[in-house]
């Protein structure tokens, strides 16, 4: 098949954003719900699943390894699992598309099963290094053959029984942590991951909900997460909350477009995911939480955000792990604040779908923003609310979050900002542009 042609879009100011937003399901939780349900014995049901391309790649991979996964007409997904240790040999390569989460977590699953799997992906994913996952999984006994630079395509040959390890994360990465924990599910003994800096804890929360024996301890060395192997997972009914990474674009857009007043429904408020809200509040954003509740073990709330003049800050580096995917949106907010915002401590942005530091620096600079690029972030001189110049076409580098962040920037530019290819938005937020049109219809 030939790839679809690029989808170029032009975003110009439209006036205030007003109304309610129904968020797509959280991407991180959606991936894990499908994987863990596929490892349970019996039928699980999932509502609110994100039906973006990345999550669908996970569903296809789990089907290829034996799980029965079906979507009902009512949008409910039903998963009949094969049990821990029951994954079947896939008939062909697993196509991960653009999904780094699918790739890294599924590598962990395969590593402790008596199967082998080849992982392939699109051009963007194939450029992302997998060495940080290969190292611990190889220590557990998996035989991994990768392309030069530890990249895709690569093959994982699992080992049964695998070897339990105690592994300290060299960088803050929920994906690496989760890959090791998932390998530990089918490994005799106890597998431990030590994270000096806390990362997203969806895997620990959900595995415990499925019946795995998970222990979390705070120590001087950091948070220690232990999983007891040869686990037996029980089927569950899962309601996926709204994705805070998708909420980020509306939080920023409503904050910077005068007259805006937006209510964001059902946002996941897991404390490992709310760094952007904390940063925006430090910048004097007007964000209120209402209807706080718990859904499937995750804290959830509705967010009400109104336009407010933003003030530049030095972003606390310890917020980075809890907002790593939201930095592109934060950079746009910084461009409209009063003063110089310094956002550093985000080295991980260099190895996302694109080099998000360099890509956002180039895009914002082209749109008229004054900034300085650092190895671990940006310093951005804000306009104090004055429109950025715009009138340019920027390169998304096949990165969904770059495309959406610069679409938000187009709402506060003198002239329209063009995005060379918005197709990748479908990987995480297929309804993004439809939602934008509903909140702020385009002007004639």
| 177 marked as binding residue | no
Annotated ligand binding at 10? The verdict is: no
User: What is residue 40's DSSP assignment?
Assistant: B
Is 100 annotated as ligand-binding? yes
73 is in an annotated binding site: no
127 is in an annotated binding site: no
* Catalytic status, residue 325: yes
Q: How many CB atoms lie within 10 A of CB 282?
A: 17
Residues 6+ apart with CB under 8 A from 406: 11, 332, 363, 367, 394, 396, 417, 419
Residue 28 assigned as binding residue? yes
Catalytic-role residue among 325, 355, 437, 444: 325
Is 397 assigned to a binding site?
A: no
Cα–Cα distance between 66 and 80 in angstroms, integer?
A: 9
**173 annotated as ligand-binding:** yes
Name 73's Cβ contacts closer than 8 Å, sequence gap at least 6: none
Backbone angles phi and psi of 379, in degrees to 5:
-110, 125
Backbone angles phi, psi at 293, to 5 degrees: -160, 175
Q: What is the CA radius of gyration of the chain?
A: 21
3-class secondary structure, 122: coil
Q: How far apart are CA 390 and CA 193, in angstroms?
A: 46
Burial label, 118 (beta-carbon count in 10 A; 0-12, 13-18, 19+): middle
Please check if 325 is assigned to a binding site.
yes
C-beta atoms surrounding 437 within 10 Å: 11
CB of 241 within 8 A of CB of 215?
Answer: no
Question: Any binding-site annotation on 32?
Answer: yes
Is 71 annotated as contributing to ligand binding? no
Which residues carry a binding-site annotation for phosphoenolpyruvate?
A: 27, 100, 128, 175, 356, 401
Q: What are the binding residues for 3-phosphoshikimate?
A: 27-28, 32, 173, 175, 325, 352
Active site residues per annotation: 325
Residue list for the binding site? 27-28, 32, 100, 128, 173, 175, 325, 352, 356, 401
């Amino acid at each position: 098949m030939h790839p679809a042609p690029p989808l170029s879009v032009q975003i110009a100011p439209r006036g205030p954003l007003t109304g309610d937003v129904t968020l797509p399901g959280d991407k991180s939780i959606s991936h894990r719900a499908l994987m863990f349900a596929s490892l349970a014995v019996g039928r699980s049901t999932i509502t609110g699943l994100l039906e973006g391309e990345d999550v669908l790649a996970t569903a296809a991979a789990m089907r290829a390894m034996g799980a029965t996964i079906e979507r009902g007409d009512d949008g409910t997904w039903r998963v009949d699992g094969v049990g821990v240790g029951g994954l079947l040999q896939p008939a062909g390569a697993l196509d991960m598309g653009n999904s780094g989460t699918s790739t890294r977590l599924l590598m962990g699953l395969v590593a402790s099963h008596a199967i082998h799997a080849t992982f392939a992906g699109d051009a963007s994913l194939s450029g992302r290094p997998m060495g940080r996952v290969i190292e611990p999984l190889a220590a557990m006994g998996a035989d991994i053959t990768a392309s030069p630079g530890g990249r895709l395509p690569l093959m994982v040959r699992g080992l049964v029984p695998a070897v339990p390890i105690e592994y300290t994360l060299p960088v803050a990465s929920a994906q690496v942590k989760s890959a090791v924990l998932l390998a530990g599910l089918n490994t005799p003994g106890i597998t431990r991951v030590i994270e000096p800096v806390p990362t997203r804890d969806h895997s620990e929360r959900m595995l415990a909900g499925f019946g795995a024996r998970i222990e979390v301890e705070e120590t001087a060395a950091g948070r220690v997460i232990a999983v007891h192997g040869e686990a037996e997972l029980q089927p569950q009914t899962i309601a996926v909350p709204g994705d805070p990474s998708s909420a980020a674009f509306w939080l920023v857009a409503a904050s910077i477009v005068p007259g805006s007043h937006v209510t964001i429904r059902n946002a996941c408020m897991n404390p490992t995911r709310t760094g952007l809200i904390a940063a925006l509040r430090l910048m004097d954003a007007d964000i209120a939480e209402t209807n706080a509740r718990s859904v499937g073990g995750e804290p959830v709330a509705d967010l009400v955000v109104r336009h407010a003049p933003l003030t530049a800050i030095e972003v606390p580096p310890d917020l980075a792990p809890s907002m790593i995917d939201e930095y592109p949106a934060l950079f746009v907010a910084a461009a409209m604040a009063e003063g110089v915002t310094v956002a550093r401590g985000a080295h991980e942005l260099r190895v996302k779908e694109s080099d998000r530091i360099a890509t956002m620096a180039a895009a914002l600079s082209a749109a008229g923003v004054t900034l300085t690029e650092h190895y671990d972030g940006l310093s951005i001189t804000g306009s104090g609310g004055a429109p950025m110049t715009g009138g340019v076409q920027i390169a998304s580098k096949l990165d969904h979050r770059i495309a959406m962040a610069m679409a938000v920037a187009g709402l506060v530019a003198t002239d329209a900002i063009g995005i060379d290819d918005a197709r990748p938005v479908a990987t995480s937020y297929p309804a993004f542009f439809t939602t934008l049109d509903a909140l702020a219809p385009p002007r004639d």
